[in-house]
Structures are given as structure tokens and as C-alpha cells.
Amino acid sequence: MTFEEVAGEVHTAISAGELSGDRVVELAVALEGLGVAVPADLDLRTLLTGFARLDTSVRTVQRDLDATALPGRLRVCAPAWGGGWLRVGYGGQASSTGFDPRRSADPLAEVADVAQEIIVEELWTSWPLCPEHGFGLHVNNTPEWVCTGTKHHVVAAVGRLGGG
């Protein structure tokens, strides 16, 4: 299975209220097969729920890539060098920041921030840009894309660039 396939299965199981028993073990084993570290003391439902939150955040930031016509896809990955941590990938890059699925906080602001970093590293260009000033935007904790150029202002919530 790929990360995208596991994510689809996890989202389906959560939505149907079927994230239990053998299904939990099956999906956790699939993640482990993709290189994700599965600590022995970690509740597998916690792992899968955290993975689903990360995947949802990646999909939300992807809407901003699509709205700004930036080519490529963000993805959840676990590179061999990453010690089993879930990371965000784009092109040939993966975030240096790993995501702990046990965290209960919404990772959207952090995903937007690391996505911006790896996009800049991959494409050598600022992203996203303020439509009014052309300056690179920054993500705040709300999470919103903020222009800190000549006039500090919120451009859009993460996932809503271009009115999306």
C-alpha cells in the first residue's frame, strides 16, 4: 500500500466508526511497512488518528498549491533517513521536521509552514505570494496566510487561497 492508500483506508474507517480490532492492526502494519516507526507502547488508534490529522492538513495545504497553480503534490512520507517519523514531502524534498502522531494539536499551521519551506528549497522561489503586494506570505498560528509587507494583513485562511 502507498501512504495515499493507507490514508484513504484510515479516513474511511474513522468515518464509518470502524477503527478498531483487526482493522487497526492491519492499517498500523501497513504504515510500519512504509517505514513509519510504531513504538510498542503507542496505542495504534492514536497512531492512525494522528496520521489522519496529518494527512488532512497536507490535503488542506495542497488546496493552496492548486489555487496558486503551483505544480506538484504534497504528500505524507517517512524517508529512510527520517528515523520513522512522519514528514511532509514535495518533489524531491521532505521536511526536516517530523510529526508525532501522539500530539493532539491540529498540525495545520505546522504543515503549512514546513510545506512552504520545502517548496522554497525545491523550486527556489517564494510561495505563496500576496496577491496585492507580491511579497511572500507567512503562516500564523490561527492558521492564516499573512502578508508582512508594506501593510500587515491576513490574505486567507490556510486552504482558502484564491477563495477556495
Identity of residue 61: V
* pLDDT, position 54: 94
Question: Is the Cα dihedral 164, 78, 101, 45 positive or negative?
Answer: positive
Q: β-strand 153-157 against 93-94: which pairing, if any?
A: unpaired
Decide if pLDDT at 161 tops 90.
Answer: yes
Torsion of Cα atoms, 54 then 59 then 65 then 69, to 10°: 160
* pLDDT, position 164: 62
Reported as a single tens digit per residue, the pLDDT across 89-143 is 999 899 999 998 777 688 999 999 999 999 999 999 999 999 998 999 999 999 9
Whole-prediction pTM = 0.90
Distance between CA atoms of residues 115 and 72, nearest Å: 12
Non-local CB neighbours of 27 within 8 Å, separated by 6+ positions: 6, 9, 10, 13, 44, 48
Reported as a single tens digit per residue, the pLDDT across 11-66 is 898 888 888 888 889 999 999 999 998 877 778 888 898 899 999 999 999 999 99
